[in-house]
Amino acid sequence: MYTTDLSGKKAKPEAAITENPAKLAAFEARVAADEFIEPKDWMPEAYRKTLIRQISQHAHSEIVGMLPEGNWITRAPNLRRKAILLAKVQDEAGHGLYLYCAAETLGVSRDEMTEALLSGKAKYSTIFNYPTLTWADIGAIGWLVDGAAIMNQVPLQRTSYGPYARAMVRICKEESFHQRQGYEIMMHLAAGTDAQKRMAQDALDRWWWPSLMMFGPPDDKSPNTEQSMRWRIKRDTNDELRQKFVDITAPQAEAIGLSVPDPALKWNETRGAYDFGDVDWEEFYAVVRGEGPVAKERNQARVKAWENGAWVREAARVHAEKRANAKIAAE
C-alpha cells in the first residue's frame, strides 16, 4: 500500500530534461519494453528521487502501521486471534525491512530515512493517523486497509524498479493473508451478538472513507501521476484503483450484512461499476499535513522508541567493534 504520492507538489520538470538525452532515451525504451531497472543501471535523477520518496514512504507506512494494530495485541479476544495478530504485525515489520533495503539500493541509508520520518519531513499513509478504538477496528484494518493496499501493490509487482518489484511479490502474498484474516474477523462479528454487530458496523463507518483516501487525491489533482506512469513506477491511476476497491469491497460488506456509510453508493448498470459519493478531500489534505486525529501520538511513539533504543543500538555497535578489534588482534 501506501504508495500514493503525498508530496502534493509537482516534481520539477527540468529534472528529466537536463539528463543526457541519449541515456534518457535508452532508459525510457527499456522501461517501455517492461524491462526491470536494476540498482547499478543508469537512471534519471528524478526517477531515483521519486522511487526513494515512494519506497521510503511505503516503508514508513509499514512501520507506523504497526502501532494501531499493535495497540490490540495485548487485548486480542482469544489465543488464536492473538497469534494471528502478532504474526501480522511481525509481517509488517518484515515488509518495512525489505522496503528500507530496496530504498537503500538507491543510495539513501535507513538512518536517513528514519530521521526524515521522525522529523515529520517524510510522509506515511494517512490511514494510520486514525485510532483503533475497538477490536472490530483490527478486522476493519485487515479487510479495508490491507484490501486497499493489495489494490495498490499487485500492479507494483511489475513496477519498473527491480528491487521494489521483487519486494512487492513477497509482500503481496502476505497482504492477501492479512486481508482475509481481517474479513474473517468482521464476518465473525457481523454474525455475532448485537453488541458485536454494532462494533463491526461502527468500525466500518469510521474506516470506510479514510480507506478510500488511501488511494490518494483524484487524478486531476495528482501532479506526478503522469510521469510516474510513464516510468512505470505506477501502473494505474488513483481513481482507477479507488473504483476497483469500491467495486470489490461494497459486495463484501453486503454479504455480511454491514452497510457502507455512503448514501450515494449504488450499482451503475451502464458503467458496470458502483457510483459512490465524494471523498472529503479537505480532511485528506489535513491528515497529510499532520493534522490526523492521532498523528501526534503516532509520531511520539516512533520518536520515543527510537530515542529509548539509542543506547541499545550504540551498545550493539560498540560491542561489534570490540569483537572486530579482538579478532584483528588475534590474527
Partner 1 sequence: MDSALPPLAAYAARLGDDSLILGQRLGEWCGHAPALEVDLSLSNVALDLIGQATHFLGLAGAIEGAGRDADKLAFHRDVMDFSNCLLVEQPNGDFAQTIARQFLFSNYQALLFEQMAQVKDERFAPIAAKALKEVKYHATLASDWVVRLGDGTDESKTRMVAGLNWMWRFADELFVMDDVDAAAIANGAGVDKAALRAAWDARIDAVLAEATLARPAARRPIVGGRVGRHSEHLGHVLSAMQFLQRAYPGANW
Binding site for partner 1 (CB under 8 A): 63, 66-67, 70, 73-83, 86-87, 89-90, 93-94, 96-97, 100, 135, 185, 188-189, 192-193, 195-196, 301, 304-305, 308-316, 318-319, 322
Q: How far is the CB of 38 from partner 1 (least distance, A)?
A: 25
Closest C-alpha to 171, from 200, 139, 144, 149: 149
Helix (H, G, I), strand (E, B) or coil at 268: strand
Residue placing its CB nearer to partner 1 in the complex, 264 or 310: 310
Q: How far is the CB of 272 from partner 1 (least distance, A)?
A: 37
Distance CA 317, CA 319 (A): 5
Q: How far is the CB of 201 from partner 1 (least distance, A)?
A: 15
Provide DSSP, 178-243.
HHHHHHHHHHHHHTS-HHHHHHHHHHHHHHHHHHHHTT-S-GGG-TTHHHHHHTTS--S-HHHHHH
Residue placing its CB nearer to partner 1 in the complex, 87 or 248: 87
Residue placing its CB nearer to partner 1 in the complex, 101 or 265: 101
Residue placing its CB nearer to partner 1 in the complex, 97 or 286: 97
Q: How far is the CB of 154 from partner 1 (least distance, A)?
A: 25
Residue placing its CB nearer to partner 1 in the complex, 242 or 298: 298
With cell 509537482, the residue in question is: 10
Q: How far is the CB of 56 from partner 1 (least distance, A)?
A: 13
Q: How far is the CB of 313 from partner 1 (least distance, A)?
A: 6
Closest C-alpha to 90, from 66, 74, 55, 68: 66
Residue placing its CB nearer to partner 1 in the complex, 112 or 240: 112
